[in-house]
A = this chain, B = another copy of it.
Amino acid sequence: MSDPFVHPDGRCESDDVGAGTRVWAFAHVLKGASVGAGCNLCDHTYVEGGAVLGNNVTLKNGVQIWYGVTLEDDVFVGPNATFTNDLRPRAAIKKDEWELVPTLVRHGATIGANATIVCGITVGEEAFVAAGAVVTKDVPARAFVAGSPAVQKGWVCTCGDPLNADLACARCGRRFRAAADAVNGVVPAES
């Protein structure tokens, strides 16, 4: 790990970017953006002032992270996946009528390619939003959601594979159980 790497065609105007983070070509990190260490901000990404990224976050190409969006550590955002921070955007709105609506993506979650995340929701820990999904409500931890609008189709493991009916992963062997409050999804069995 070392200082952030900024590609000669990338632009980084924030002084709050962690060691080892890479800002690739035509990517743009604005003043006031908070970006952790070891992140990978691919070509044509954009991180707005006020946006918060933890450590080891991957933003694939064409992703924007707006003021009001928080991505915890180890979040993966697929190419062209799209966030928002306003539920009723209008070009003519007056600045003092504008209302910021936050979004939180918890540790280790995956946002699939070209998915759309409507603001005001939480995507739970290690949850998995399928490619192309349009997410309009909270996603429980380790839930797999897909479709337009996105609905839950199952549960996923830390490794990304589906969990079986016993909440176990056939590939890596991890086991899970329902959270105390089922709306929160599933958690490691030994937790």
Hey, which bits of chain A sit against chain B, CB under 8 A? Answer: 9, 11, 25-26, 28, 43-44, 46, 56-58, 60-62, 64, 74-76, 78-80, 82-84, 87-93, 97, 108, 110, 112-114, 116, 118, 128, 130-132, 134, 146-149, 156, 158-161
Contacts and interface: CB of A to CB of B under 8 A. Distances in A.
Nearest to A107: B92
* Residue among A26, A74, A91 having the largest count of chain B Cβ atoms under 10 Å: A91
A33 to B, nearest CB: 13
A128 B87 CA distance: 11
B64 A79 contact: yes
A10 to B, nearest CB: 10
28 contacts: A9-B28, A26-B44, A44-B62, A56-B91, A57-B91, A61-B64, A62-B80, A64-B80, A76-B90, A78-B82, A79-B82, A79-B83, A80-B82, A80-B114, A82-B131, A82-B132, A84-B112, A88-B110, A88-B156, A90-B110, A93-B160, A114-B114, A114-B134, A116-B132, A118-B130, A118-B131, A134-B148, A147-B149
B90 A74 contact: yes
Contacts of A112: 84, 89
Contact of A78 (B75, B78, B89, B134): B89
B91 A76 contact: yes
